[in-house]
Structure 1
Amino acid sequence: MTGFVSPKFSRAAMSVITDEERDDLLLSCRYGDLDDVQDFVKTHGQASLADARDENGNTVLHMASGNGHVELLEYLLPLVPPSLLSVQNESKSTALHWACVNSHLPVVQKLVQSSSGPGVDLIDIKNAAGRSPLAEAEMAGWEEGAKWLVQVMNLDDGGGKEEAEEVASGPAAQDIEVEIQDADGQIARMNIGRPDQAPPSEKPTS
C-alpha cells in the first residue's frame, strides 16, 4: 500500500546518521560506553549498528572486542546480524582477530559461541598477513586463548588440525600442551608454539 510504513520500523530506525554520530558510536564501543550505545539505538534503531565503519573498516564488534568490553558485546550481539561477526576490516581482520591480539578470553568465547553466528568457522578466517585468530593468539604469546581455540576448533575436516600443526611448528615454538577429545572419546595431546616476543600485526588502541 502506498505510503504505508510497517509498525516495526520506527521513526528512529529510519533517521539519517551523520558522520559525527557514527564516529561517536564507534568511540563509545571502543571505550565501552554502554549507555551511549543504548542511546544511539533508541535514536537511530538497531539496524544502524551494522552499517557503522571507521576509516579502516572496523565495526562496532571490532571496537568492543578489541578492547575487551564484555558487557557491551553481550548487548550488541543480539542486535546485529550474525554476518557482522565475519566482517573483515581493511587488514582482513575480524573482531575475533582483535580479541585474540589483545588476549580477551571472555570476548573470544562469546564471539565463537554466539548462538546465531558462524561459530568455530570464525577461527579459520585469515587476515591479510595470512594469520587466523589462533595464529594471532600464538603470535601474542597468549597461551590460555590459544589452548581454548584449539580445544573448540573443528578438526574433523583436517583444516583445523593443519592450522594447529602450523602454529605448533612455528620457528620459535615452545611447548604449550593441550588435550583434544575426538569423536570416539579418545584424548590426544597436542603442543602449540609460542614466540618469545613477537609483536602482533594489528592492535587497536585501548
Structure 2
Amino acid sequence: MSVAQITDEEKEDLLLSCRYGDLDDVKEFVNKYGQAPLAEVRDENGNTVLHMASGNGHIELLEYLLPLVPPSLLSAQNESKSTALHWACVNAHLPVVQKLVQFPGGPGVDLIDIKNAAGRSPLAEAEMAGWDEGAKWLVQVMNLEESGAKEVDEEVAAGASTQDVEVEIQDADGQIARMSLGRSDQAPSPDKPASSQP
C-alpha cells in the first residue's frame, strides 16, 4: 500500500507514536501498511520517524525502526537540514547517538560531518548544548584522518611516549577537541573554541 492511500491523520499518528515512543502503535502501523511508508512519512518540517524517535531518546523504538527503513534515512535532513543524529545530540541521548552512528550498513561516522542550516554538525550541537559526554564519544569515533592525526602518528613513530602525546583535533565545524593518546583509560576532552562563531 502506498503513502498516498494512508490518510494524513494516520501519518500524523505514526509520527506522534514515534515522538512518544509508542512501539505498539508503530508495530500496528507496520502490520497494516508495511514498512515502506516508514521511510516516506514526514511532518510539515520534513522530520522523519527517526527524527522523532531519536530526538526523544526512544532507543527500543529506534532499534525496531532501523532494520525496517533504508540506511539512507539516517542521513535524511529536515527543512532545517538537521538529521536524526543532530536531534539526538541536542537532547543528549547517548545510546541513540551510538546506535545511529554504529548501525551496520548505515552512513556510520560520516553522519558526524553533516551540517544543518545553521552550519553545525551533530558534534557542534552536542558542544553547544554543553553535552560533554556525547561530544567526547563523537570525537572518539569520528574520522580523524583529515584533522592532523597523521602528524601525531609521525610523532609516535619517531619514539614519542604515547602517554604524553596530546592531540588537538579540529572538526569540520572548526571546533577544537583535545585528546591524550596511548592511554585507554583517557577519553578525549572537547574544549570550546575561543569564539563560538567563525
* TM value normalised by structure 2: 0.80
Aligned equivalents of 1:143, 1:53: Cα separation in 2: 31
CA contact (8 A) 2:53 2:61 kept: yes
1:31 counterpart letter in structure 2: Y
Aligned equivalents of 2:148, 2:75: Cα separation in 1: 18
SS in 2 for 1:78: helix
Identify which of 98, 103, 118 aligns with 1:109: 98
1:113 counterpart letter in structure 2: Q
How large is the RMSD of aligned CA atoms in angstroms? Answer: 2.8
Question: Who is 1:78 aligned against?
Answer: 67
Aligned equivalents of 2:181, 2:65: Cα separation in 1: 32
Question: Who is 1:193 aligned against?
Answer: 191
Aligned equivalents of 1:179, 1:61: Cα separation in 2: 34
CA contact (8 A) 1:53 1:60 kept: yes
Question: Who is 1:69 aligned against?
Answer: 58
| Counterparts of residues 1-206 of structure 1 (less than 5 Å) | 16-158=5-147, 161-163=169-171, 166-168=174-176, 178-179=179-180, 191-194=189-192
CA contact (8 A) 1:120 1:152 kept: yes
Identity %: 71
User: In the TM superposition, what is the alpha-carbon distance from 1:192 to its structure 2 partner?
Assistant: 1.8
SS in 1 for 2:118: coil
CA contact (8 A) 2:38 2:69 kept: yes
User: In the TM superposition, what is the alpha-carbon distance from 1:157 to its structure 2 partner?
Assistant: 2.6
Name the CA shift for 1:179/1:62 in 2 (closer, same or farther; >3 Å): farther
Name the CA shift for 1:15/1:166 in 2 (closer, same or farther; >3 Å): closer
Uncovered stretches (5+) of structure 1, i.e. residues with no partner: 1-11, 169-175, 199-206
1:43 counterpart letter in structure 2: K
Name the CA shift for 1:133/1:14 in 2 (closer, same or farther; >3 Å): closer
The count of residues paired between Structure 1 and Structure 2 equals 175
Structure 1 runs (4+) deviating above 2 angstroms are: 12-15, 157-162, 176-181, 185-191
Question: Who is 2:163 aligned against?
Answer: none
SS in 2 for 1:56: coil
Uncovered stretches (5+) of structure 2, i.e. residues with no partner: 150-168
Name the CA shift for 1:187/1:91 in 2 (closer, same or farther; >3 Å): same
Deviations 1:48-68 (A, max 9, x none): 100010000000000000000
Deviations 1:16-69 (A, max 9, x none): 211000000000000000000000000000011000100000000000000000
- The structure, 1 or 2, with the larger RCO (C-alpha pairs under 8 Å, 6+ apart) is 1
User: In the TM superposition, what is the alpha-carbon distance from 1:177 to its structure 2 partner?
Assistant: 5.3
